[in-house]
Structure 1
Amino acid sequence: MGQPPLETHPFAPFIRTLGRGQKGSRSLSQDEAFEAMGMILEGQVEPEQLGAFLMLIRVKEETPDEVAGFVRAVRWTIQLPENIPAVDLDWSSYAGKRRHLPWFLLSVLLLADQGVKVFMHGLKGRKDNRIYTPQALEFLGLPVSDSLAEAAQRLETHTFAYVNLERISPRLQQIIDLREILGLRSPVHTVSRMLNPFLAPHQMQGIFHPGYLAIHQGAAALLEQAHMAVIKGDGGEIEASPDSSCRVLSVNQQRCNEEEWPPLLATRELKPKSLELELLPQLWRGEIEHKYGTAAVINTLAVTLQMMQKQSRREDALAMATEWWQTRSKDLI
């Protein structure tokens, strides 16, 4: 008697769909992406399958439908605290900074100083030459919460909280860590940025590769995100570079918009020889002047204020951001 035919692994059809070649392959539907990511998160996928799946999507680039399906699946697995805080703004930080300091953190502090409840999530960091947000927060004396429950508790009495991805979804962190083995980023980087675990009505996104702007925008619309803006930020973080133009793609109640913001500064800023974190609190307290840093803070804040419907025109958003900067609580850090 011959050997019985081998059963096809349940995850194999997803790889087959993506990898049949130029004429036979296609992207996943949102429901297929949801099912595939669900199997990955539940450990129902072989390591070889996971690597093939991630790289097939990386080569063709993920679609808005795939990202939306992946995000929905991850959200389904996140253990939320019983008392979910009313967060105003979700802010992701997954890239790290190596050209300029993370000036965007001062933009976030301005929002928090004005009573906007901001939840931030991101990567703990890699062994490279970048400054990651947890490192900067520690330097500024701002706490990093150990869990979503701790962040929720903090947001009951404060206006800012941060949690590392590994505390939100350990499995996603494990997949991101495969970058050192695979040699490439994976779609999980996009998914992590869009998690918005507390479902804040406003969401800011930063990417490095311009081609991902429309992907983030489209996925946000599919996820019915009320208000979202995505920019090609400095280093891939949510920081609107003040010395170059900035494309802002946004979603406002299912309407997709695009606007080009001209640079605030007349000339390009040279990369500093070193990144000195002490400049952040010194600028905040008014102990030093820093033309680029101040412009980066104001520009990033203005994009956020426009996305949050605080102002509709760029000029008015910049004026409001400037006023917030000039009237900040200098003893906050």
Structure 2
Amino acid sequence: MSDEQASLPETKPGEHPFAPYVRILGRGKRGSRSLNRVEARHAMGMILAGEVEDVQLGAFLMLMRVKEESPEELAGFVDAVRAQANAPEGLTVDIDWSSYAGKRRHAPWFFFSLLLLAEAGLRVFVHGAEGHTPERIYLTTVMEAFGFPVAHDWETAARQLDETNLSYMHLRDVAPRLAEMIELRPILGLRSPVHSLSRLINPLSAPVVMQGIFHPPYAGLHQGAGELLGYERVAVIRGEGGEIERNPDNVMKVFRARRDVDGFVTEEDSWSALFPQRHVKPEKIDVTDMARVWRGDLSDEYGEAAVISTAALALYEAGRAESQDAALARAEALWNERDRQKFDSALAVRG
């Protein structure tokens, strides 16, 4: 028996092998505790392998939700997911970008930010899921409208990255069981640790991991898990709608964990609001209007600022600008120099 196996919780005679993990979380205020990283990795490994009953999975996820996950638990969960993702060796990217929230109040302007980053020479890998929260528009909807195909396997992702510096893979093609768990939200009625876990998987070990969250208290959780996982740099923002998209009407706080010569540094940074007052949100999200903004046929002060400032954040975190002002200037230049006819053929077919 290995030292790791010896450290796992004991199973009582006649009970299911996963029962100890439900028991650890469900013993009440005084008896329950968080899982350590080894336990979390083993528990998630059993879940991913289909070795857990549905009732156990539901109980586990909701007990974890009530307790609230710890950085150690998230790191262990990520260990298990990365072990089965089968990402190819040698496929490198500069930025890991997660897209799991969807947009409700504003259009997914960050799609244009991704295009600007790719144009700047940064290889960006995006992973996400869709449809688990009603009445939201997800990144894949916009990508489809603009004729940008989703990759369904690593071979296609590698080709897209080589050709365009940008690729999106759905979580179901990276970690199928995890995708099924995200889709339990309408059934359980609550988010589960899977929503935080998915954002942290970084399957291609990018040196920069961008994180968009909706609830600021989760920032420290993502910082701590990123540090435990040894990621070189994790940047977490309260993104518009929970996506990695800057709301230019607000001050943006960046919660960062980064590797330094003396170990890991956890810090906070702030970007000033770009407007003195808030913009009125649009009555509806219209992909056609997004296309008109890209072509320059329509002006959208909020949307263009969101595109530029989101790209600026990523440029700064990736070390492509020495200051916030330099990052904003570089992002604005990329926006002004964009190929405005890039999607004309795809949008003509859609129209």
Say yes or no: TM over 0.5: yes
Say what the alpha-carbon RMSD is for the aligned residues.
1.5
Higher alpha-carbon deviation: 246-255 or 33-42: 246-255
3-state SS of the aligned residue for 2:148?
A: coil
CA distance in 1, matches of 2:210, 2:13: 47
Q: With structure 1 as the length reference, what TM-score do the two structures score?
A: 0.94
Q: C-alpha distance in 2, partners of 1:85/1:10?
A: 36
Unaligned runs of 5+ in 2: 1-11, 344-351
Q: Which residue of 2 aligns with 1:49?
A: 56
Q: Pick the aligned partner of 1:201 from 207, 215, 218.
A: 207
Shift of 1:315: 2.2
The CA deviation at 1:124 is: 3.4
Equivalent residue in structure 2 for 1:222, among 228, 231, 236: 228
Of residues 289, 299, 305, the one that matches 2:299 is 289
Q: Which residue identity lines up with residue 197 of structure 1 in the other structure?
A: P
Q: Separation in 2 of the partners of 1:244 and 1:236? A: 14
Separation in structure 2 between the aligned mates of residue 207 and residue 197 of structure 1, nearest angstrom: 19
Secondary structure of 1:310's aligned partner: coil
Q: What's 2:72 paired with?
A: 65
Contact 1:30–1:68 (CA under 8 A) maintained in structure 2:
yes
Q: Which residue of structure 2 aligns with residue 75 of structure 1? A: 82
1:244 matched to 2:263: no
Establish whether residue 142 from structure 1 lines up as the match of residue 148 from structure 2: yes
Once the two structures are TM-superposed, the CA of residue 126 in structure 1 deviates from its matched residue by 4.0
The one-letter code of the counterpart of 1:78 is: A
Runs of 4+ in 1 over 4 A off after TM superposition: none
1:101-180 → structure 2 map (5 Å cutoff): 101-126=107-132, 128-180=134-186
Contact between 2:223 and 2:256, CA under 8 Å: does it hold in 1?
A: yes
* Match 2:25 to one of 18, 26, 45: 18
1:278 match: secondary structure: helix
Asked if 1:9 corresponds to 2:16, the answer is: yes
Distance 1:291 1:220 in 2: 34
- State the shift of 1:106 in Å: 0.7
- Counterpart of 2:318 (choices 301, 308, 311) is 308
Please give the alpha-carbon distance, in whole angstroms, between the structure 2 residues aligned to 1:177 and 1:125. 8
Per-residue CA deviation, residues 29-48 of structure 1 (Å, 9 max, x unaligned), is 11111111011111111111
- Across the two proteins, how many residue pairs are aligned to each other? 328
The 1-side partners of 2:311 and 2:114 are apart by 8
How far did 1:84 drift?
3.9
Q: Which of these residues, 96, 99, 102, is aligned with residue 102 of structure 2?
A: 96
Q: Which residue identity is paired with 2:235?
A: A
1:157-188 alpha-carbon deviations (Å, 9 max, x no partner):
22111111111111011111111211111111
Shift in Å, 1:190: 0.9
Q: Which amino acid in 2 is paired with 1:32?
A: E
- CA displacement 1:218-255 (0-9 Å, x = unmatched): 11111111122111101110001001121111122122
Q: 1:294: how far off?
A: 0.9
User: What is residue 299 of structure 1 aligned with on the other side?
Assistant: 309
Distance 2:315 2:278 in 1: 25
Structure 2 CA distance for aligned equivalents of residues 318 and 127 of structure 1: 32
Pairwise CA distance, 1:198: 1.1
Judge conservation of contact 2:213–2:236 (CA < 8 Å) in 1: yes
**Matched position secondary structure for 1:23:** helix
CA offset digits 1:174-225 (Å, max 9, x no partner): 1111112111111111111111111111111101111111111111111111
Per-residue CA distance 1:135-169 (angstroms, 9 max, x = gap): 11001111111122221232222211111111111
Summarize the Cα distance change of 1:151–1:103 in structure 2 as closer, same or farther, 3 Å threshold: same
Does residue 258 in structure 1 map to residue 268 in structure 2?
Answer: yes
Larger mean Cα displacement after TM superposition, 104-113 or 175-184: 175-184
Counterpart amino acid of residue 79 in structure 2: R
How much has 1:324 moved relative to structure 2? Answer: 2.0
Q: Identify the residue that residue 191 of structure 2 maps to in structure 1.
A: 185
Cα displacement string for residues 266-311 of structure 1 (whole angstroms, at most 9, x for unaligned residues): 1111121111111222222222211000111111112111211222
3-state SS in 2 of match to 1:230:
strand
| Contact kept? 2:128, 2:169, Cα under 8 Å | yes
Contact 2:132 2:182 in 1 (8 A): no
Checking the alignment, whether the CA contact within 8 Å between 1:120 and 1:163 is kept in structure 2 is: yes
Structure-2 residue corresponding to 1:332: 342
Alignment check: 8 A CA contact 1:87 1:200 kept: yes
Match of 1:211, SS?
A: helix
- In structure 2, the residue matched to 1:38 is 45
Note the alpha carbon deviations across 1:308-331, whole angstroms, 9 max, x for none: 122243222222222222222323
More moved, 196-205 vs 232-241: 196-205
The CA deviation string for residues 111-140 of structure 1, in whole angstroms up to 9 with x for no partner, is 011111111111132472111111110011
Please give the alpha-carbon distance, in whole angstroms, between the structure 2 residues aligned to 1:127 and 1:214: 24
Give distance in 2, aligned partners of 1:209 and 1:267: 23
